[in-house]
């Protein structure tokens, strides 16, 4: 366990503590405590204002224990427990995998981090949450398919995640094509699939997953869109992040194996049942064109379908076009 993680555990105690008390409890110098506190504040961890000049977190943090995590993965039958790496902080879990592991050895490699300073979403958008409050991980996987056959991969993974969260009681979770999880009209998480290497017959992909779990700082983030977390959506007790990571990684393996064997088709009806665009007027925007139509779900390949005014169906291909709800026209005055 790193100095920073040990400090977070002490800061989660019920009693506020001074710099000197924190240094003694963690077993590091006061200057190191000050440095870590400064970094944690900059990263978005919130402190009790009433505790100053002592320090105490605004909410209890639950850092992931590597031993507990790997024990849980082994018990769940996860086949790549020895390939799991847990980091305290990183720029991006997907970037870390790319730097550390050759593409020929990526299969089953997992990077989990308590905090990402440069997490990415689709189209290069940034994705950043407070440390020790969310789920951030990436996994490498070799698929016996060419890149052209992967249009539905992020949809299959999204469905696996949504099914898990709905099973936990978050029954308002839905899916936004091609890779976002929404709940009550707000973004809950997302999936990012990046190709690390590719041939006509085989692809090495890195699958990044981000979920907002219990992050009080979301309300203050300037994300350009409404966001939510699992704590705001779930009915019943919130699972520990370690338990949720075990479930998510196990679900990922099952979804990836099924997709490699059968493609998106077995997940098509399940995904369409959770489509937040279904029956709604949707705008598809690319650099060259704008298409407006009624959302009709994904086809068997994972392409999104829009029914235009003339009754024709326009398939939308991930990577080329983004979807958004089409605002109603203003009435003429």
Helix (H) or strand (E) holding 21: helix 19-26
Of 76, 232, 235, 214, give the one whose Cα is nearest residue 168. Answer: 235
Residues in contact with 130: Cβ distance below 8 Å, sequence separation at least 6, in sequence order: 43, 44, 45, 46, 115, 215, 216, 217
Under 8 Å between Cβ of 191 and 207: yes
The string of DSSP letters for 252-316 reads HHHHHHHHHHH-SHHHHHHHHHTBTTBTSEEEEE-SS-EEEEEEEEE-TTS-EEEE-TTS-EEEE
Strands of the sheet with 173-176, listed across from one edge: 84-87, 110-113, 134-143, 203-212, 186-198, 180-183, 173-176
Residue range 66-273 in CATH 3.40.640.10? no
Collapse the DSSP code of 87 into the 3-class scheme (helix H, G, I; strand E, B; otherwise coil) and give the result: strand
Whether the upstream peptide bond of residue 178 has omega within 30° of 0, thus cis, is yes
Q: E-assigned strands of the chain?
A: 84-87, 110-113, 134-143, 173-176, 180-183, 186-198, 203-212, 281-285, 290-298, 304-307, 313-316, 322-325
The radius of gyration computed from the CA coordinates of the chain, to the nearest angstrom, equals 21
Write down the number of H helices and E strands in the chain. Answer: 9, 12
Collapse the DSSP code of 183 into the 3-class scheme (helix H, G, I; strand E, B; otherwise coil) and give the result: strand
Tens-digit pLDDT string for the chain (333 aa): 789 999 998 998 778 999 999 999 999 999 999 999 999 988 888 888 777 789 998 888 889 999 999 999 999 999 999 999 999 999 999 999 999 888 888 999 999 999 988 655 444 455 556 889 899 999 999 999 888 889 999 999 999 999 999 999 999 999 999 999 999 999 999 999 998 877 777 899 999 999 999 887 766 555 567 899 999 999 788 999 999 999 999 999 999 999 999 999 999 999 999 999 999 999 888 777 888 999 999 999 999 999 998 999 999 887 656 777 776 544 433
Decide: residue 333, CB within 10 A, 0-12 exposed, 13-18 middle, 19+ buried: exposed
Domain locations along the chain: 3-51, 66-273, 281-325
The CATH number that domain 281-325 falls under is: 2.30.30.100
**Phi, psi of 252, deg, nearest 5:** -60, -45
Q: E-assigned strands of 184-251?
A: 186-198, 203-212
Whole-angstrom CA distances from 111 to 91, 115, 333 are 12, 12, 56
Angle between helices 30-43 and 3-11 (to 10 degrees): 80
The CATH number that domain 3-51 falls under is: 1.10.10
């Amino acid at each position: 366990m790193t100095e920073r993680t040990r400090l977070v555990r002490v800061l989660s105690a019920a009693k506020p503590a001074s710099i000197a008390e924190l240094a003694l409890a963690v077993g590091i110098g006061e200057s190191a405590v000050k440095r870590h506190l400064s970094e944690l504040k900059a990263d978005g961890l919130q402190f009790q204002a009433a505790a100053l000049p002592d320090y105490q977190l605004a909410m209890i943090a639950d850092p992931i224990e590597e031993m507990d995590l790997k024990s849980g993965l082994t018990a769940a039958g996860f086949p790549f427990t020895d390939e799991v790496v847990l980091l305290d902080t990183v720029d991006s879990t997907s970037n870390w995998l790319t730097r550390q592991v050759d593409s020929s050895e990526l299969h089953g490699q997992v990077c989990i981090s308590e905090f990402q300073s440069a997490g990415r979403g689709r189209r290069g958008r940034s994705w950043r949450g407070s440390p020790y409050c969310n789920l951030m991980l990436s996994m490498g996987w070799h698929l016996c398919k060419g890149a052209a056959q992967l249009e539905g991969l992020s949809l299959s993974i999204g469905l696996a995640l949504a099914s898990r969260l709905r099973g936990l009681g978050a029954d308002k979770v839905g899916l936004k094509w091609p890779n976002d999880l929404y709940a009550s009209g707000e973004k809950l998480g997302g999936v990012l699939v990046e190709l690390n290497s590719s041939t006509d017959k085989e692809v090495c992909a890195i699958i990044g997953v981000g979920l907002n779990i219990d992050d009080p700082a979301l309300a203050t983030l300037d994300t350009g869109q409404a966001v939510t977390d699992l704590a705001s959506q779930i009915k019943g007790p919130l699972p520990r992040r370690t338990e949720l990571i075990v479930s998510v990684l196990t679900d990922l393996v099952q979804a990836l194996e099924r997709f490699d064997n059968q493609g998106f088709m077995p997940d098509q009806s399940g995904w369409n049942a959770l489509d937040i665009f279904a029956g709604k007027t949707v705008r598809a925007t690319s650099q060259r064109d704008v298409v407006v139509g009624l959302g009709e779900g994904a086809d068997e390949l994972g392409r999104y379908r829009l029914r235009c005014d003339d009754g024709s169906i326009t398939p939308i291909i991930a990577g080329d076009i983004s979807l958004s709800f089409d605002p109603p026209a203003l009435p003429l005055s």
